[in-house]
Amino acid sequence: MPRQRKNLSAAALQLIADRFKVLGEPMRLKILHALWNEEQTVGHIIAATHGLQANVSKHLGMLQQAGLVSRRKEGLNVYYRIVDDVVFDLCETVCESLHDRLTEQIGELAPLPHRKRA
């Protein structure tokens, strides 16, 4: 049975692409990585990612705009956390896929059994 292929409007395609695009930057992945297990302050994220404050803040804004993280202010600090579990699913899927591919390449590059010198 072939996979189902829905009709997709240009707007729908844009929504889907936007979702992927947000995840298509290493720095944003790094930030999400820092938020993987628990919410963190911006300061902590800056330290964990070794990013500049302005950069991290901008990326956090994008992640929030995309609805992937939420913002909570407490005193001087702002806490961010991942609010859309799709982040976990997508990243795990990609990691597994890359793992499989690289494993396959390793197999191709495996040394042949030794032959005796002529």
Partner DNA sequence: TTGCTAAATAGCGATGTAGTAATATCATAA
Partner DNA sequence: TTATGATATTACTACATCGCTATTTAGCAA
Distance CA 88, CA 28 (A): 14
Question: What is the CB neighbour count within 10 angstroms for residue 59?
Answer: 22
Distance CA 5, CA 83 (A): 29
Q: Which does 77 bind (CB under 5 to 8 A by kind): DNA, its own copies, none?
A: DNA
Only one of the segments 1-9, 68-76, 100-108, 109-117 lies at the binding site for DNA (rule: CB under 7 A); that segment is: 68-76
Give the nearer residue to DNA in terms of CB position, either 10 or 109: 10
Distance CA 92, CA 9 (A): 28
Backbone angles phi, psi at 40, to 5 degrees: -140, 155
Q: Please, what is the minimum distance in Å from the beta carbon of residue 64 to its own copies? A: 14
Only one of the segments 18-26, 39-47, 72-80, 107-115 lies at the binding site for its own copies (rule: CB under 8 A); that segment is: 18-26
2 binds DNA (CB under 7 A): no
